[in-house]
Amino acid sequence: MRSIFILLFAVMLAGPAIAAPPKRPATVEDWSKAAIALIVTRTPELAKADVPAGSYMARVRFTVHPDGRIEGGEIVTASSAQVFDAAVLKMLDRMKRMPPLPEGKEAMVVTLPVNAIIRPPSARSRKISPETVRWEAAVREHMRPTARRVLDDSMHRLNQNFSARVRLQVNRDGTLASASIAEPSGSAWFDKIVLQYVRAASSFPPPPPELRAPVTFTLPISFSRSRMGP
């Protein structure tokens, strides 16, 4: 009888662990970082939609409740492809939850960026690791403060909107190997400012080991009175 009890007890100990609930962020800023990180883990599913290959960025607005439940969803800054924006809203609907809000915080409306690089079908057959997805998102977040400073200093008097794509090459240690305009904006002056902004970002997070250095990818850069940057 005693041996049976010990066996049952051992099976109970070896059973599947119960997942711990998500850690509650201490501040709204911490919550935003955790929410963006969660979105990054879901962006590979956007490639399953019929989205043309390229780099995309959209901003989505929704309501988040204290326990992390999300409600509603609308695109407030559209990407260059409606099918991508539609895929973002479907992804958000499937997610259902975000990290819980900081203690004592009431339900609030938030706007978050969704960035994704959609590769050609031949490239999609190669498995893209979560580390690579997180690195690409980290590059964008690294550049965002520089975008605000350089573009705002150069373009605060403009009312026109601009958009360009820049091709980056990043070395193994994260330093910038080269930068060039892949798709011009139509304004040589804006394209020049974009390259200044990219070079001002200096170094980037080092790419994951699975990527062959220098790593080459394109990044959309846009300017409007409401938002600017990657």
> What's the CA dihedral at 46, 51, 57, 60 to 10 degrees?
-60
Q: Is the pTM of this model over 0.85?
A: no
- pLDDT truncated to tens, each residue of the chain (230 aa)? 433 333 332 333 333 433 444 578 999 988 988 898 888 888 888 877 777 777 788 889 999 999 999 999 999 988 878 888 899 999 999 998 999 999 999 999 999 888 887 776 655 445 667 777 788 888 877 777 766 665 565 555 555 667 778 888 889 998 988 888 888 877 888 888 888 878 877 778 898 888 888 888 777 777 654 444 45
Nearest to 96 by CA among 56, 67, 137: 67
Cα angle 205, 208, 214; round to 5? 75
Position 139, amino acid: V
Domains and CATH numbers, the chain: 19-124 (3.30.1150), 129-230 (3.30.1150.10)
Query: Which residue stretches of the chain are H helix?
Result: 2-14, 28-42, 82-95, 121-124, 130-155, 188-200
Give the HSE-up count for residue 133: Cα atoms under 13 Å, Cβ half-sphere.
Answer: 22
